[in-house]
Chains A and B, each alone.
Chain A
Amino acid sequence: MRVLFTTFPWHSHHFPMVPLEQACLAAGHDVRVASTPALQPIVAASGLPFVPVGHDVNLAALSNDRSRAAWHRQERWPQDWPIHPELLSDDHFAMIENLGRMQVLMADAMLDDLLDFARAWRPDLIVHDAVTLAGPVVASAIGIPSVSHLWGTPGPQRIEMRRFGSEPLPEYAALYERVGAPLRAEPTAWIDPSAPGTRYEIGPTCRQVRYVPYNGPGVMPLWPLEPRRGTRICVTWGGTSTALRGDAVLDLISQCIQAATSIADEVVVAVTDKAVDGLKPVLAHEGVRLATNLPLHLFMGSCDLVVHHGGAGTSLTAALAGVPQLAITARPEPSVNGARLAAAGVAHHFLTHEVPEGEEGVRLLRSEIAELMGFPGYRYAAKELAQGILTQPSPAATVAELESLAGSDQLLPPAFPLVHL
């Protein structure tokens, strides 16, 4: 079987698909990973064969343009909004549809090359990141199944559909018209790596898969295996947050590090190289261990608590390691992770603007951290969440599902058994 994977060029949307890509290879299938040229170093560094398609679009700039900037500073959205669109206002949907149109621009930049490649390579199946809209368009154009792969945040994230409903945004529908393909309003199947206990049910076409962490390349250090000299907290802020919000997050990370060092014997700070410069004063604090370019899963299990920005990869890596979490989120999408982890009893969740500036904020964070560390209920709940993840079918087991989807178009079973009466 030939499986074409595709994502828009963002590392945190490639990472969650890596284990399934590896699993397809391990089952002897042929795999290609297509994105715009900007993603080549990230895909190549994950050991997978890359296909450059289309041209790059400056997503960080698009994401911060005036109409979308509000996405980064939102009040709390209604509870369970991903599955209760009726609770959302016109303003909420204006923002969501803006994101949808941004992804249409991205898809537009990828579409022609992706279609050419698919026509030449003839995949049996396309697996696409859930908001990478060129995927279903190309699958429809060449008449093969398309599988929508979620990146770990609970809920289906149908930003290309009007009010999460069955009617596509006109710009999305126009992509199908451009290549003369019938509109595909629903993927053939979904793949959802979110954790049972935090996920939202998506429906009968959804295949749940065990989250297997891939957090980029790295060399395992020896310190996580050595006996600890007391308690250990990890403070980490993802590449996406730092790239999209820049210096705005540095003050908050500093506050978190200050609060953590006042409680734990050791604080592991895992941030991007770029963030390190802006954090120099707090990094000098005694007990701080800097861990740049280190995949989180290589040391997460040695921590008592992780303080983070609510990214799906971080949330799930911590969940799998059975570690309680403090999530401080800005955008509505990571806020879903924080809210769901809190509802599962493994985390406390704040929005960034709920943390006051300066010493007052540090005091708040310190009392939150103290409670999460001191009350054993969080750790029990975290272990339970981790056990739940381990009960899910592995990526290797999920390959069989892909095989049957790929075969289903050529070999339809009879609707009823043929019985001679």
Chain B
Amino acid sequence: MRVLVVTSPWPTHYFVMQPLANAFRAAGHDVLVAAQSSMSDLVTRSGLPMVDIGGDIDLVGIRRRTLSRELQAREKPADPQDSDDGEVFDSWREATLSNLDGVVNFARAWLPDLVIADTMSPAGLVAAQLLGVPGIRHLWGWDFLGSVEGEKLFAALPGFYEPYERYGLKVTGDPATRTVDPCPPSMQPLGTPSRISMQYVPYNGPGAVPSGLPPRTEGRPRICLTWGRSITRIIGEKAFLLPQIIRAVDGIDADFVVAIDPADRDSLGELPSNVVALDAPPLHLLLDSCDAIVHQGGSGTVYNAIRFGLPQLAITHMADQDNISAALEKSGAGIHIRGEEVTPEAIHQAVTRLIKDHEIRRAADRLRAEMLAQPVPAQVVMELEQLTAAGQAKD
């Protein structure tokens, strides 16, 4: 069958979706990833063909504009009726509407049997409804829409149904047929029955196993330090905490590996003898030789670390990072510190706990076991094949 995978222009969202798209390909289906042209290098170099659906959404720019509101919103639950929060939702509308026609027009020409759409790409669900085929929402992290509480939000969110109304569709409730969720279920709010749990399989972009990694010293822990780029592009350099983290872990008896974009390498300055910087290899190719990780709380990074059973320290700046990292801390497998509260002492203590505290390690093992017990993408493909076939049989 034909499967159209609609991704938003957030690279990390696409990385979390790629394994399911890949699994459809492996099952012999025709797969196309619909994305805007800024994503073409990232998508075509992931083993899947892309179709350019136009639009030129600058998600980073949009979030920069709404940053102060978003940061205020971290202090209290979002309320769409509140005019300040409304501005944030307006930006969400702007981000999701601009490629609506492009996705719909292509879908009408290609006629997919199934559409999978990132949460930030409701255009995919609009296309699915217009064609009368299943439309699947794919989550990239902590979920509010697919949760029992979240269902109440649909009607309240200004503009949530607007993409559907533009095409004359009357939708109530959740416009997605199912929601695929790669998060371990114990970390998510209680889901609706339409949620399909899927094991997170790492995809972190193309690349090779890291070279220049010194051999491990027996009995000496190795800790990965990494920092996502989106967060500094939105908030600015003050949110780039790697230099402070490296100073704060001074004196800890461990080896540190910094996975860093070559462009940022100079910002780290001179490194202590127990710290090595690597030109950002795909994260999972590095984590299989690490014992713990410190990061910015992006859900993709959190999932990667869970997969390898690593205790984690997440230092967060934005609401979606807060949510997934708070859930991680609640599981016992990690420590969550908010960016504005972080101090060198707090980092030092937290990293020491990551390697000394057996409770954290046991919780990380449990969380890993929970992840590995989730159905793999290949099994989710079979479930969605059946769902699609059942829909076609009804017609």
B393 at interface, CB cutoff 8 A:
no
Give min CB distance, A189 to chain B, whole Å.
19
* A47 close to B45 (CB less than 8 A): yes
* A219 close to B50 (CB less than 8 A): yes
CB closest chain-A residue, reference B379: A27
CB closest chain-B residue, reference A34: B209
* A44 close to B208 (CB less than 8 A): yes
Provide the residues of chain B in CB contact with A217, threshold 8 Å: 44-45, 47, 49
A210 at interface, CB cutoff 8 A:
yes
CB closest chain-B residue, reference A19: B26
In this complex, how many residues of chain A approach chain B with their Cβ under 8 Å: the count is 39
A287 at interface, CB cutoff 8 A:
no
B48 at interface, CB cutoff 8 A:
yes
B246 at interface, CB cutoff 8 A:
no
Beta-carbon contacts of B209-234 to A below 8 Å, as 1s and 0s? 10100000000000000000000000
Question: Which residues 10-52 in A have Cβ within 8 Å of B in the complex?
Answer: 18-20, 22-23, 25-28, 30, 32, 40, 44-52
A396 at interface, CB cutoff 8 A:
yes
Provide the residues of chain B in CB contact with A218, threshold 8 Å: 44, 49-50
Selected from A45, A47, A395, the residue in CB contact (under 8 A) with B28 is A395
Question: Which residues 30-66 in B have Cβ within 8 Å of A in the complex?
Answer: 32, 40, 44-52
* A50 close to B209 (CB less than 8 A): yes
Provide the residues of chain B in CB contact with A19, threshold 8 Å: 25-26
Inter-chain CA distance A218–B209, complex, in Å, is 24
Give min CB distance, B32 to chain A, whole Å.
6
Give min CB distance, A302 to chain B, whole Å.
12
Provide the residues of chain A in CB contact with B51, threshold 8 Å: 219-220, 222
CB closest chain-A residue, reference B377: A26
CB closest chain-A residue, reference B30: A297
A385 at interface, CB cutoff 8 A:
no
B187 at interface, CB cutoff 8 A:
no
Known A219-B40, A219-B50, A220-B51: A27·B206 in contact at CB below 8 Å: no
Inter-chain CA distance A353–B385, complex, in Å, is 49
B285 at interface, CB cutoff 8 A:
yes
Provide the residues of chain A in CB contact with B377, threshold 8 Å: 26-28
CB closest chain-A residue, reference B371: A28
Inter-chain CA distance A50–B282, complex, in Å, is 10
* A27 close to B47 (CB less than 8 A): no
Inter-chain CA distance A397–B26, complex, in Å, is 9
B131 at interface, CB cutoff 8 A:
no
Known A26-B376, A26-B378, A28-B201: A49·B285 in contact at CB below 8 Å: yes
B109 at interface, CB cutoff 8 A:
yes
Question: Which residues 95-118 in B have Cβ within 8 Å of A in the complex?
Answer: 106, 109-110
Selected from A26, A45, A46, the residue in CB contact (under 8 A) with B201 is A26
Question: Which residues 376-406 in A have Cβ within 8 Å of B in the complex?
Answer: 390, 394-397, 399
Selected from A25, A51, A222, the residue in CB contact (under 8 A) with B22 is A25
CB closest chain-B residue, reference A217: B44
Provide the residues of chain B in CB contact with A181, threshold 8 Å: none
Give min CB distance, A226 to chain B, whole Å.
8
Question: Which residues 38-75 in A have Cβ within 8 Å of B in the complex?
Answer: 40, 44-52
Known A44-B45, A218-B44, A219-B52: A210·B19 in contact at CB below 8 Å: no
Cβ contacts A to B, 22 pairs, < 8 Å = A23-B378, A25-B203, A26-B201, A26-B381, A28-B199, A40-B208, A44-B206, A45-B45, A46-B47, A47-B18, A47-B45, A47-B47, A47-B203, A49-B285, A212-B25, A217-B45, A218-B44, A222-B106, A295-B49, A394-B27, A395-B26, A397-B27
